[in-house]
Amino acid sequence: MMLDVECLDETCIKKLASEEVLAIRIKGWLPPPLATRIGEKILAPGFEGYINAPSIGRIGMAFYEAENQPLLIEDYFERATRNITELRNRCAPYSSPVDTLRCMFDESWPAGAQLETLYGRKMFVGLSRVVKPGVRFLAHHDIFAKDAPQSFQARSLQAQFACNVYLNMPAQGGALQMWDRDISPEQFDEMRGDSYGIDPALLGTPTLEVRPEAGDFIMFNSRRMHSVTPGLAEPRLSLSFFVGYRGTASPLTFWS
Ligand SMILES: O=C(O)CCC(=O)C(=O)O
Ligand SMILES: [Fe+2]
């Protein structure tokens, strides 16, 4: 269900798109001391909480936080380029791991890879996410067309992958859990009510549970339900973005 690979290539991206595998991991993609160092640099100037999940910190704004509200969507686009630059600057003199991954996707996918454009505007990519000890990430799925229902661009995706680089991990917990049982967007929305997610216990035993280590890169099918278990003592820091897939002849796209 999870494939360990040495590097990104066409074959492993296709396996994820065809749902042959739920997730792909590159263990030690960054040397752990470098992951820690970059993590410290990212956190040093501080961060804010999510609009719709205040116990989870973040730098940059995720598109799904806008929840289809015009003023928040405007805010998102207005800050997109600035937020990309902000991550790059926080990482300097190291390269931003998100920038490196953007290059690697472009190099490995025959049709290339580029920043996603929505409503004719460049999206943000490279959210830094900080989960405090003891906080559980509720089970949810990420489907672009739900966040931008009027957009042909969003509806044209054939698959969506969540990409995460882990920079700091708690000593225990902080595991990524995934379920291969599909829940329709309608059923999930009914179950979650006003919350962004649901209690993972409602889904039964996860199909896959993996505890990432600092420096690991994991890419998974974000349309399947997933959650993160609470961590102990240390904050869990990751860089996160989505990759959109529209078949072998189309470029992959990135956004957060
Ligand atoms: O932090 C993780 O391991 C996964 C977070 C998540 O929900 C996502 O990347 O879509
Ligand atoms: Fe997610």
Q: How far is the CA of 44 from the centre of ligand 2 (A)?
A: 25
Task: Please tell me the predicted confidence (pLDDT) of residue 47.
Answer: 84
Q: How far is the CA of 144 from the centre of ligand 1 (A)?
A: 15
Task: Please tell me the predicted confidence (pLDDT) of residue 146.
Answer: 95
Quick check: 56 pLDDT over 90? no
Q: How far is the CA of 162 from the centre of ligand 1 (A)?
A: 7
Ligand 1 is surrounded, with C-beta below 6 A, by 137, 142, 162, 164, 176, 222, 226, 228, 238, 240
Q: What percent of the chain has pLDDT over 70?
A: 100
Q: How far is the CA of 221 from the centre of ligand 2 (A)?
A: 9
The protein residue with its alpha carbon nearest to ligand 1, atom 10, reads: 162
This prediction has a pTM of: 0.96
pLDDT in tens, 9-54: 999 999 999 999 999 999 999 999 999 999 999 999 888 888 888 8
Query: Is residue 141 very low, low, confident or very high in pLDDT (cuts 50, 70, 90)?
Result: very high
**Total domain count, the chain:** 1
Q: How far is the CA of 230 from the centre of ligand 1 (A)?
A: 13
Mean pLDDT value of segment 177-185 = 92
* Ligand nearest, relative to CA of residue 220: 1
Quick check: 113 pLDDT over 90? yes
CA separation for the pair 212, 207 (Å, rounded): 16
Q: Ligand 1, closest atom to CA 226?
A: 7
CATH number of residue 246's parent domain: 2.60.120.620
The protein residue with its alpha carbon nearest to ligand 1, atom 9, reads: 162
Query: Is residue 221 very low, low, confident or very high in pLDDT (cuts 50, 70, 90)?
Result: very high
Task: Please tell me the predicted confidence (pLDDT) of residue 8.
Answer: 96
In 38-182 the beta strands, taken as DSSP E runs, fall at 48-49, 56-59, 113-115, 117-118, 121-122, 127-131, 137-140, 159-168, 176-178
Range of the domain at 54: 2-255
pLDDT in tens, 62-100: 999 999 999 999 999 999 999 999 999 999 999 999 999
CA separation for the pair 125, 60 (Å, rounded): 9
Q: Ligand 1, closest atom to CA 238?
A: 1
Query: In terms of Cα–Cα distance, which of 189, 228, 186, 184 is closest to 206?
Result: 228
Task: Please tell me the predicted confidence (pLDDT) of residue 182.
Answer: 81
pLDDT in tens, 148-167: 999 999 999 999 999 999 99
